[in-house]
Structure 1
Amino acid sequence: MDYPLLNAFWTMCLIFLWVLWLILLFRIIGDIFRSRDLNNWAKTGWLILVIVLPFLGVFIYVIARGHGMSDREVAQAERQQKQLQTYLRDTVATGEGTSHADSLAKLADLKNHGDITEEEFQKAKAKILA
């Protein structure tokens, strides 16, 4: 078996570029679906362009709409963070089937991990003790 080291290096580079390309392609397809400023026809057009002419479609998409991709991703992360904090606050505040001491311990644990702020901690504590 004759496979020189340089050929193995080039094979690894090509595999890396192929995986990188797939990640970029899926991120763009996800961004197309996540985008709220595009109507359904525009989303369909972008999807057809990206699927039928993948290299050209991805490059055109990045040039035309790349500046907003990070904004949409940050907005999505902020929405998820708000939902998580709301869920945590509601779960700790209701104390479903737990004693006040257990609820306060969970609340202190959330505060210590930085999941809730001091102000949120005080409000939830007042709710539990009321």
Structure 2
Amino acid sequence: MSIWDFLVWMFWVYVTIACIWIFITIIIDVFRDPSLNGGGKALWVLFLVFLPFLAAFIYLIARGKGMAERRVEQAQAARAETDSYIREVAQTSSPGAEIESAKRLLDSGAISQSEFDTLKTRALATA
């Protein structure tokens, strides 16, 4: 086997993997599309199974814009969810709220007066 045979073989492996990737992406998009009913989804999948290359080209031409829009919406929703979670976790309470919380713990007997003083000093120091 010469180096050229190996390079041709590698090229066809790459093309095969790329085609499989495209087919899987299209099938995922078909099932995530809320505008398609069950029959439409079944027809697209059958079309992809029996005439994969033709179906992929037609799908990308006919529905590629919607595919991109759904992908952008999904990314924006994931980013908004992540940002919301980060804001929720990163919120810092005010020193007054921390002292009030420590006072409730002191009044309930969960902490001693010295622990309360330590928490109060720490809350005021971070302010």
Which range, TM-score by smaller chain? 0.5 to 0.7
Tell me the TM-score normalized by structure 1.
0.65
Report how many residues are paired.
96
Deviations 1:44-77 (A, max 9, x none): 2111111222112111211211122211111110
* 1:57 and 2:55 matched: yes
Give the secondary structure class of the aligned counterpart of 1:38: coil
Deviations 1:14-52 (A, max 9, x none): 001011111111111111122122122211211111122
Instruction: Provide the aligned C-alpha RMSD in A.
Output: 2.2
- Gapped regions of structure 2 (runs ≥ 5): 99-126
Q: Which is higher, the Rg of structure 1 or of structure 2?
A: 2
* Aligned twin of 1:18: 16
Bigger shift: 38-47 or 12-21?
A: 38-47
Identity among equivalent pairs (%):
31
Separation in 1, partners of 2:50, 2:61: 18
Q: CA deviation at 1:94?
A: 8.4
